[in-house]
Each structure stands twice: as structure tokens, then as C-alpha cells.
Amino acid sequence: MSENRLPLEDLRVIELGTLIAGPFTGRLLADFGAEVIKVEPPGKADPMRSWGKTKDGVGLWWPIQSRNKKSITLNLREEAGQEVLRELVKEADIIIENFRPGTMEKWNLSYETLSEINPGLIMVRTSGFGQTGPYKDRAGFGSVGEAIGGLRNVTGFPDRPPSRIGVSIGDTLTALFASIGCLVAVHEREQSGKGQVVDTALYESVFSIMESIIPDYLLASYVRERMGNILPGVAPSNIYFTKDKTYIVIGANADGVFRRLAEAMEQPELADDPRFSTHHARGENMKLLDSLIEEWTKSLPAKEILKILEEKGVPSGLMYTAKEILEDPHYKEREMIINVDHPQLGDFPMPGVVPKLSRTPGKVKEPGAEIMGKHNAEIYGELLGYSEERLEELANAKII
């Protein structure tokens, strides 16, 4: 493969999902070159087009979520639209859908039906609770997955109700697992020639990152609860107030790192103090240790503290907002803020591609299509060979 090509350019993906989890999967694949064809019902836009803040009537989330994708319209509730999708499936490698289980079957678009047309087809299915089990028919959003997966109960402070993380973490975690599953299935297909279903559930994706929560409960009779900014038994690992009335985070819980922190504080004796000399002892005396550290951080401005800690090799950082991210030279050097030309807004800033590949890195070529069905002529006319008369007929019937 030429190193000028993107690594997934040989894959064609049909994205049927809406909102976040399914489309974020499509975005990740498109970042590395997959041809992702985003499907929306005619006259009924994906809500993501208008979610979040707007500028001159343009949603600021959509151009990121749907970057690099082609946009077509298709009514899957009608038999004629279902037939069009079946023709598209002949030319596709992957379908992404995040409808409630049973919806694709109701539309006569089950995996069994579609795999008869294309035995190598991979169907990535994302739902609240998966395609099987007693909860499979329940509606499920990311917030519900975060709750039932165990994340919400451990997020926040102990004297307050469970809290939401500030982004749609349940959806994006599920998209990451869906992308992994999709690429695993693509790799396996190289040996077997057969496709398969990738079944991703919101609650399972959240639960899978919950560390040792189950053996903690079953084997140690310990139920994890909300702990605010600390990690139970792990110290120091917290946020600390500074002289210029801001917060910094310091993580120095390993023995060697804690010794370097004590030196940075000009209190090297703390590293040999029996109350703090071992991981277990620091965990037992967390409140006292945090108070000693904050006495020091309150005596200096944040940037001065961070400079000292950097010189000593102690992990630390400011609480970044968008402003600090944009001003940070490391973000710039790593191309984590990129600008893409938007037809209405001009230079449009968005996150760069993650992860970084050394030979064949991903690329953002264009923002999400601003017009629904922008690529109808290309996909239906060029890929499927529909005549102008056929396209007009489908449009008049509100199929596209």
C-alpha cells in the first residue's frame, strides 16, 4: 500500500445510526480513510446537526462528528428504500446501526438477510443493552449505560448525588469498543472470507472499564462509592489550591515520585516519615498528607509550582479549559487542534486524529456535510448506476 494512502481506504461503510455512539464509530473509521456513507431519512435530519452551540445557524458539533463522511438520504421505513439499501450492501464492507434491537429486522434488513446478499458483510450493532438478554428491548441512551454500567455511582463527591462526567463518555466508550470489534472482524474476514455481527452495548462498554469493582465486592466486601478527586488508598493524587486561586493536579503516589515531590516542597524528610514512606502508609494518612501539600501549593502561583514539579519529574498539570488548550504549544506541535475549511464558517477548528500512526496517519479532509443528501448523485448515480430518471422517481416518492 502506498504510504500516501490512508490505511482504511479499501473499506466502504454504511452508517445508519444517529446521535453519538454509532456515528462516533463512523467518525473513527473515516479518520483513517474508510469511505463512510452517512444515511439520514429525507426531511428528518440527525439531531446532531443542531445539538450543542451554534454559529450563524450552524451546529458546531456536527462538523466534527460527521467529518470525512458522505451524506445521502434514504427512507428505510418504505420497501423501496429497503431495496435501495440492499443494493448498497452489495458494494459495502460494513454497516453501522444503533437503533433499538429488532428495528433492522422490522425493516427486513436483518443481518441474516443482508449477509445472504453479501456474505462478507460486517454489521456493527450498538444498543443500550445488546441484541440478546432480558433487557434487549429497552431504550438506552449513554446516560443509562453509564448508570447501569456502574460509572455514575462512583462519579462525584460522597456528600452529593451521583454526577455526570462532562462529556458523553458512555457513547464514546461504546464507539471505541465498536471500532475495535469492527476492525477485529475485518481482520478475521481476511482468513475466513465471512462477515459477522459486532454486538456492542452501552452498559457493557462502561462496565468493562470499571477496574476491580466486582472482585472488590465479592472477595473483599468493599463497595466502591463516590470519592471526589481522590483515589481510595492512593496518595497523593488530588487537586490542590494555589496562591493565584486556581487548582493544579498532582499525582505522586509511587514511592520514587513521592520522594521527588517532597524534595520539590523542600521537605525531603517527608519521604522517610513513617506516616508517608510507603504506599500503604500514604493511603492511610491521605488527609494529613494532602493538607501538607496544599499548604505548600497555596504559597506559590500555579505556574511556578508546575515549573518546579516539572524539573523534579513529578506528574502535574493545570485544569485546562478550551482557552488553555488552544494556547498550549504541545497541542499545537502534536497537531491536536486542526483547522478544516467549512463552506459557511471558513476555518473550522476541531480535534486532530487519534492515535498517531508513524507511516500512514489518519487525516481530516472535510467537515460534516452541511446539506443532507449532498452525495446522493455520487452514491446513487455513480456507485449504483441509477439514471437521473430513477433518482427523480425516488425523490418524488420521498425515498431519497
Tens digits of residue pLDDT in 50-103 = 999 999 999 999 999 999 999 999 999 999 999 999 999 999 999 999 999 999
Amino acid at 364: V
Q: Are 271 and 277 in contact (CB under 8 A)?
A: yes
C-alpha cell at 367: 467537515
At 3, is the pLDDT very low, low, confident or very high (cuts 50, 70, 90)?
low
Topology of domain 12-209+334-396 in CATH is Rossmann fold (3.40.50)
273 labelled catalytic: no
Query: What confidence tens digit (pLDDT) does each residue in 280-289 have?
Result: 999 999 999 9
Q: What are the grid coordinates assigned to 83, written together? A: 431495496
**DSSP code of residue 153:** G
1 band by pLDDT with thresholds 50, 70 and 90: very low
101-118 pLDDT, tens digit per residue, is 999 999 999 999 999 999
Each residue's pLDDT tens digit, 218-240: 999 999 999 999 988 899 999 99
Its CATH architecture, for the domain 237-241+247-318, is 2-Layer Sandwich (3.30)
Over residues 309-320, mean pLDDT: 97
d(CA 70, CA 46): 14
CB 199 within 8 A of CB 111: no
Please give the Cα distance from 273 to 169 (Å, whole number): 40
Q: Give SS3 for 86.
A: helix
Within 10 Å of residue 241's Cβ, how many Cβ atoms?
13
Catalytic residue among 31, 46, 93, 171: 171
Give me the percent of the chain exceeding a pLDDT of 90.
97
d(CA 227, CA 356): 34
**By three-state DSSP, how is residue 208 classified?**
coil
Between strands 35-40 and 122-127, the pairing is unpaired
Instruction: Read off the C-alpha cell for 66.
Output: 460527521
Cβ-Cβ contacts under 8 Å for 326 (sequence gap 6 or more) = 337, 349
Percent of the chain with pLDDT over 70: 99
Interior angle at CA 93, CA 29 and CA 16, nearest 5: 65
Annotated domain spans of the chain: 12-209+334-396, 237-241+247-318
Question: Does the pLDDT value for residue 377 go beyond 70?
Answer: yes
First to last CA, the chain: 36
Average pLDDT over residues 172-188: 98
pLDDT of residue 280: 96
Check whether 241 has a pLDDT greater than 60: yes
Instruction: Give the chain's mean pLDDT.
Output: 96
Output the CA angle 37-114-5, nearest 5 degrees.
35
Residue 31 CB neighbour total at 10 angstroms: 24
Over residues 282-299, mean pLDDT:
97
Section 342-364 average pLDDT: 96
Segment 296-313 shows an average pLDDT of 97
Characterize the bridge pairing of strands 237-241 and 197-201. Answer: unpaired
Place of cell 472482585: 215
Whether pLDDT at 2 is above 60: no
